[in-house]
Amino acid sequence: MRHLVLALVLVLSAILSQARVAAGFEIEDERSFGPAGAPQLRLLSTTDIAILQPVITAWLQANPDSGLHYVMASSQEVYRAIAEDRAAFDVVISSAMDLQMKLANDGFARPLPAEAMASQPQWARWRDLLVAVAQEPVVLILADGALASPAEAPRTRRDLITLLRDNPDRFRGKVGSYDPAISGAGYLFVAQDARLSDTFWRLAEVMGRLDARLYCCSSDMINDLQAGRLLVGYNVLGSYAVAHGGKGFQIVELEDFTLTLLRTALIPQNAPDPDGAAAFLRFLLSAPGQDLISEGAGLPSVEEAAFERKPHLRPIRLDPGLLANLDDVTRQRFLDEWRAAMVQP
């Protein structure tokens, strides 16, 4: 009897341990697609489910005996799910390029199908472990009532600084941006901003004096702007702005430079269905898949010609420089400097 009780205790402990691992990272949303009882591909992503739903629908139409379970989380939580919790997912897609590269570099990703990788430009893939499935600009959004006249419309960060600095009563508490301390994508954006121009630090100081509001994600910024709680959203994902239809605001690609993000995908080492994951990525990176991403999901497909058409676009490239910004000391020093700029006496 004692042995039976001990066995039950051990089984219960194992179940509880697995439950803790499964619940260790914070999920924002999740949804299952496909027929009930069908084997499910497990997808973990930072992208809102509604944005990728057209792609998922097409995938399931081509694979009617399959299902897909979609879990959405913030970029930091996506990283934590794989690196710390070792959660079992087949495909991981994230907007935080640096965190994705760290997962791949630290041994958490398995090789991707060679034919799928070959379809993407060299700058849109890293080794055989990480590949871009979409690219999109990181934009400024302005509420319809933000400007006193069209002449105030900012075209560069210097223009934006002037607009905010000269109108403190209008913009106090009405400027929003990512909080890089909690958002992986937000940290990536400000680190790249600072690398490309010293103007960013002047802008951060101006936003700090105006009691800027900080956010985890683009969708919350856009919702607050549409509700009248913000007039300006800085470093907003372009796809989210477009998905909201531009209702109540205008989208601005700043001409001094507009960061261009690569949404990247990997297959975790512990993927339950690596073959299914590889097939899904082959579909995403195929010409029909890229058309669906662009036209159905509203995510610009990976296209080198975009940088020729719009010289102000600056791609965030998949290179080892991204890993340098994630060094603990470097990151803490940067965040301390950012807080000093944003928290004004």
Rounded CA Rg of the chain: 21
**CATH node for 136-260+326-342:** 3.40.190.10
Pairing mode of beta strands 232-237, 130-143: antiparallel
Residues 6+ apart with CB under 8 A from 107: 269
Q: What is the CB neighbour count within 10 angstroms for residue 15?
A: 10
According to the model, what pLDDT value does residue 270 have?
96
Alpha carbon distance 139, 136 (integer Å): 9
pLDDT at 237 over 50: yes
With CA atoms as reference, report the closest residue to 136 among 306, 321, 319. 306
The full 3-state SS of the chain, as one line of letters, equals CHHHHHHHHHHHHHHHHHHHHHCCCCCCEEEEECCCCCCEEEEEECCCHHHHHHHHHHHHHHCCCCEEEEEECCHHHHHHHHHCCCCCCCEEEECCHHHHHHHHHCCCEECCCHHHHHCCCHHHEECCCEEEEEEEEEEEEEECCCCCCHHHCCCCHHHHHHHHHHCHHHHCCCEEEECCCCCHHHHHHHHHHHHHCCHHHHHHHHHHHCCCEEECCHHHHHHHHHCCCCCEEEEEEHHHHHHCCCCCEEEECCCCCEEEEEEEEEEECCCCCHHHHHHHHHHHHCHHHHHHHHHHCCCCCCCCHHHHHCCCEEECCCCCHHHHCCCHHHHHHHHHHHHHHHCCC
pLDDT at 9 over 50: no
Confidence of residue 66 (pLDDT cuts 50, 70, 90): very high
According to the model, what pLDDT value does residue 7 have?
38
Q: Are 132 and 293 in contact, with CB atoms under 8 Å apart? A: no
Instruction: Using the structure block, give the residue that is written with the tokens 């629908």.
Output: 57
Backbone angles phi, psi at 273, to 5 degrees: -130, 75
Alpha carbon of residue 11 to chain centroid: 38
Residue 299: which region, alpha, beta or left (left: phi > 0; alpha: psi -120 to 50)? beta
Of 289 and 7, the one with more pLDDT:
289
- Longest CA pairwise span in the chain (Å): 84
Alpha carbon distance 52, 60 (integer Å): 13
The whole-chain average pLDDT of the chain stands at 88
**Residue 21: what residue type?**
V
Reported as a single tens digit per residue, the pLDDT across 257-292 is 999 999 999 999 999 999 999 999 999 998 888 888
Which CATH architecture is the domain 2-134+262-310 placed in?
A: 3-Layer(aba) Sandwich (3.40)
Of 335 and 296, the one with more pLDDT:
335
Alpha carbon distance 100, 71 (integer Å): 17
Would you kindly state where each structural domain of the chain is located, as residue ranges?
2-134+262-310, 136-260+326-342
For the ranges 4-13, 27-36, 131-140, 303-312, the lowest mean pLDDT is seen at: 4-13
Equal CATH topology for 2-134+262-310 and 136-260+326-342: yes
- Looking at the DSSP bridge assignments, the partners of residue 30 are 71
For the ranges 74-83, 141-150, 303-312, the lowest mean pLDDT is seen at: 303-312
Stretch 329-341: mean pLDDT? 93
